[in-house]
Every structure is written in C-alpha cells, then in structure tokens.
Structure 1
C-alpha cells in the first residue's frame, strides 16, 4: 500500500529530488517526511527505493491529472495542441501503470535471491520506461503554448520526471546491492 503523502512531505521530497544526496541523507529525509521508519528499515535500500517509487507515482498521477484536466477544459486549443495533450495523457497513463507495477514488485516478498533480482530488474525496467514517457511528454509540451497554460502543466510533468529519475537511481542502487550479495 502506498504511503499517504502530505503537502509538507511533497515539498521536502521536491527539495530532495533536486539536490544531490547520499543514500543515508535520503533515508533520513524520507523518514522525516513520514514515508519510512529508519528503526524498521535500518538503511534498507529496498524500502528507500520503494518509498521513492511511491513518491514518483504520486507525482506522475498529479501530472496526468493536470494534462487530463486541460484536455477536458473548455479552453480553445489549436488542433496540434490537442494532439500533444492526447499523446501526453497516453504517455503519462503508461508511466503511472509502470510505476504501479514497480511499486508492486518492490513490495512483494521474494522467495530467493534469484526472485529478488528478477523483481528488482523488472522494477528497474519499468521505472526507466516511465521516466522516458515523462521526458517525452515534457519535450512535447515544450513545443506548444496551450493557451498560456504550458508552463504550469509542463512544470508538473517535469517535477514528476525529477522524482522518477530519483527513484530510478535508488532502484538501480538496489539492483547493484542485490548483485553484490553473497
């Protein structure tokens, strides 16, 4: 189950995503934001990666809502702009699905080291493709005006991509740690 995300936690995590940090600093910051408990986690890279994917998923859903809302609004858009919004909606919907799959894989209990590695590799692939979808959407939105709403909507997509990039780094770190396990 995904953690409940408060506005203050989102603000903190936006700062985290835009700042370089060590794994220990990220872990402490996620604990401060209420996403994980260090006493339970004890520097568990899996919990940290899962928390990052949960945050990324929340931001991807927010970006999708912004794109969908503008697409459904009564604002007069040019034909090319409606196509871009439709394409972005599809890409962000795909991103949300991939991040949900990643969250499920990271939340599942592995039966052995091979199963754990497969789950993490699946999550790594899905987070990576979610990031590609978000970046492609942001690029497309950068080419249209959207009746003056571009910066607001694109900003949400870019923010989602930053969080997904952070999640990708943490899932990649988890994959590396599993590969090094005895």
Structure 2
C-alpha cells in the first residue's frame, strides 16, 4: 500500500499542477484580451453613437476597422459603400419577389414604383461616392453639401418605397418581406448620412 501511495502522489500532483496552469493561462488570456482594446474599433463605436441606429452601425462597419483606421472620412466612405450594397441587394430582392408572386394591380404598381425609387437611391449613393474620392481643397464644403443632398434624397426615396406598401389590401407576407429589406437599407443610409454630416460639421478636411 505504501508503494502505491508513493508512486501516485507525484502523478496526482502533476495533474493538479497541469490543470492549475491551464486555468491560469486561460484566465490571463481572457483578462489580457479584455484590457487591450482596438482603438480603431473604439473610434467606430464612439462615432456610431451619433447615429440613429448605433448597434447596426457598429455591426456593419466594425469589420472594416483596419481600413478605416480612425479616419472620419474613411468611416463615412465605408458607410456609404455599405449603404450602396444594401440598396443594390434590396433592388434585386424586390425584383425577385415580384417574379415569384401572382401580383394584383395594387401590388404590381407598388413594386414597380419601389424598384424605380430604389434605383434612384443607387444612383444618388454612387454619385456621393464619386464625390467622396476627392474632398481636398477649398471647395470641401460645397462637395460635402452635394453629398449630403444626394444621400438625403436616397433616404427619402427609400422611405417613399416603404410608404407604397402601407395599403392593407396587399399580401401581408409579400409586404413584410419587402418592408424588412427596405427598412434595413433605410437604416444603413440614415447611419451613413449621420456620419457624413458629422464629417461636414468638422469644417476642415482631415484624412
């Protein structure tokens, strides 16, 4: 019995030590991870607080943290790109839904109008992105004014599309699917507009 105890005690001690070290390393890693923050992600989170939909803002923009690199201009540019992608995706979704449903006159008219207005939104967001490529110079505020006008118009078009599906006589499932897409892209555009307005209010261009 004594021999068995002597041989097992070091083995048990080794296992205990291994478990303790493993737990300590994991705890240290977790604490270390929590203490060290990413300044680029922190910048995005702080900026998103000035939007109407901060959670969506951070969710859609945080993956671009390294390219944004704490730049207000880059942040606004990325937000515009995300909004544009959303508008294009929504336009395709609305078209596909219209092809898979037997639409009544009211539904067909609303979808036709929606596709047209979302198409206008895509054009306006594209114009804004072109203008965003060259903001340097004394005409900074003029260019920002153009961008704000176009993005505001894009948001108005998206809201107009939603209003077209308010009629109670429409197919509820179809209306719900389309409104969900439109609401998402409208929120993305609203966030982009807020970030652009934030950049504009700074008065001075800073890359």
Q: SS of the counterpart of 2:202?
A: helix
Q: SS of the counterpart of 1:33?
A: helix
Q: Distance in 2 between matches of 1:29 and 1:125?
A: 23
Alignment of 1:24-35 (within 5 A): 26=58, 30=61, 32-34=62-64
Q: Output the TM-score relative to the length of structure 1.
A: 0.75
The 1:170–1:89 alpha-carbon spacing in structure 2 relative to 1, beyond 3 Å, is: same
Name which of structure 1's ranges 160-169 and 144-153 shifts more when overlaid on structure 2: 144-153
Q: Output the TM-score relative to the length of structure 2.
A: 0.66
Residue 133 of structure 2 is aligned to residue 99 of structure 1: no
- Residue in 2 aligned with 1:84? 110
Q: Distance in 2 between matches of 1:57 and 1:180?
A: 23
- Residue in 2 aligned with 1:173? 198
Q: Distance in 2 between matches of 1:108 and 1:87?
A: 33
Deviation, 1:98, is: 0.3
Tell me how many residue pairs correspond in the alignment.
156
Deviation, 1:19, is: 4.2
CA contact (8 A) 1:57 1:96 kept: yes
Q: What runs of 5+ residues in structure 2 fail to find an aligned partner? A: 1-47
Larger-gyration structure (1/2): 2
- Residue in 1 aligned with 2:4? none
Residue 157 of structure 2 is aligned to residue 123 of structure 1: no
Q: SS of the counterpart of 2:203?
A: helix
Task: Please provide the CA RMSD for this pair.
Answer: 2.8
CA contact (8 A) 1:76 1:147 kept: no
Q: Distance in 2 between matches of 1:125 and 1:59?
A: 19
